[in-house]
Amino acid sequence: MGLSTFEIFSRLLLSMIFSGLIGFEREKSNSNAGMKTHILVGMGATIVALIQVETNLIVKGFGPESKVGVDAVRLIAQVISGVGFLGAGTIIVTKRNIIGLTTAASIWGIASVGTALGMGYFNIAIIGTALILLSLLFFKKIWIVQSAEYIIIKYITNDKTINEINKSLEKLDLSYETVRWSTSPFGHDLITTHVFKVNLSTSVSFGIIVETISKIDNIISIELSNIG
């Protein structure tokens, strides 16, 4: 006797809900893989696990005298290893930064949750989903890490302008330092490009810096970069 239609439907429905919760958080964080991706991964893992469960039940139905055997975790192992390739596709590597590791980990985690649901281990799936959400939603609020960024300011060369820029950054109570600066001709004027290394935080965002610096005369542009 295999799984009932209700059991199959309920496990897939729970997989969709749990995967959607994780995917919704990732989508709010502007991740490459959002709600739909997580739901598809989670439900796909659940389907494979359901196939494994059904196969085990069919083999058991042959009776103890049957010589037919089945590896109870072979399909599941293939799912967990295969999802790693999908997660790797969400990771973006630049010269000095790696983006997407959290999303890759959440995809791998939701595949495990889907597998647990498909196998009928509801307590593992519920606790696992709750702890994954806890880590995604609350840990980043508990541990606020200041990130070093580079602000590139271009302005018409003028001693008064650079003094005003320094004063503005100091008023914002920012920890900053000049990385480099250069001057180049532009028509009848000279354009100076100043690169500052700053530690942004939740209290002082890039938008606040732009709003403050743009009030200074002779400012041409203000850019944010993670590469100095």
Quick: pLDDT tens for 7-38. Answer: 899 999 999 999 998 888 888 776 767 888 88
Instruction: Please state, in angstroms and rounded to a whole number, the distance separating the CA atoms of residues 150 and 157.
Output: 20
Residues 104 and 173 in one domain: no
Helix (H) or strand (E) holding 183: strand 176-186
Residues 213 and 160 in one domain: yes
Residues 44 and 132 in one domain: yes
Quick: pLDDT tens for 128-161. Answer: 899 888 888 776 655 545 556 789 999 998 888 9
The arrangement of strands across the sheet holding 219-225 comes to: 176-186, 189-200, 147-156, 219-225
- Angle between the 122-137 and 5-28 helix axes, to the nearest 10 degrees? 10
Residues 16 and 111 in one domain: yes
Residues 157 and 127 in one domain: no
Residues 187 and 93 in one domain: no
Residues 114 and 175 in one domain: no
Asked which of 142, 168, 190 is the last residue of a domain, the reply is: 142
Amino acid (one-letter) located at 49: A
Question: Which residue range(s) make up the domain with 122?
Answer: 5-142
pTM score of the predicted model? 0.54
Helices H / strands E in the chain, number of each: 8, 6
Instruction: Please state, in angstroms and rounded to a whole number, the distance separating the CA atoms of residues 178 and 162.
Output: 11
Residues 90 and 123 in one domain: yes
Residues 172 and 108 in one domain: no
Residues 183 and 78 in one domain: no
Asked which of 125, 142, 159 is the last residue of a domain, the reply is: 142
The pLDDT score that the predictor gives to residue 74 is: 72
Q: Residue 180 belongs to a domain with what CATH number?
A: 3.30.70.60
Amino acid (one-letter) located at 139: F
User: By mean pLDDT, which of 43-47, 52-56, 159-163 is the weakest?
Assistant: 52-56
Instruction: Please state, in angstroms and rounded to a whole number, the distance separating the CA atoms of residues 183 and 76.
Output: 60
Rounded to 5°, angle at Cα 124 from 119 and 126: 105
206-218 b/e with 16+ CB inside 10 Å = b?
eeebbebbeebeb
Residues 207 and 180 in one domain: yes
> 107 versus 63: which is more confidently predicted?
107
Quick: pLDDT tens for 66-96. Answer: 555 566 667 777 777 777 777 677 666 554 4
Quick one: average pLDDT of 159-175?
87
The pLDDT score that the predictor gives to residue 154 is: 93
Rounded to 5°, angle at Cα 153 from 149 and 155: 175
Residues 202 and 132 in one domain: no
Asked which of 142, 159, 192 is the last residue of a domain, the reply is: 142
Domain count, the chain: 2
The pLDDT score that the predictor gives to residue 14 is: 93
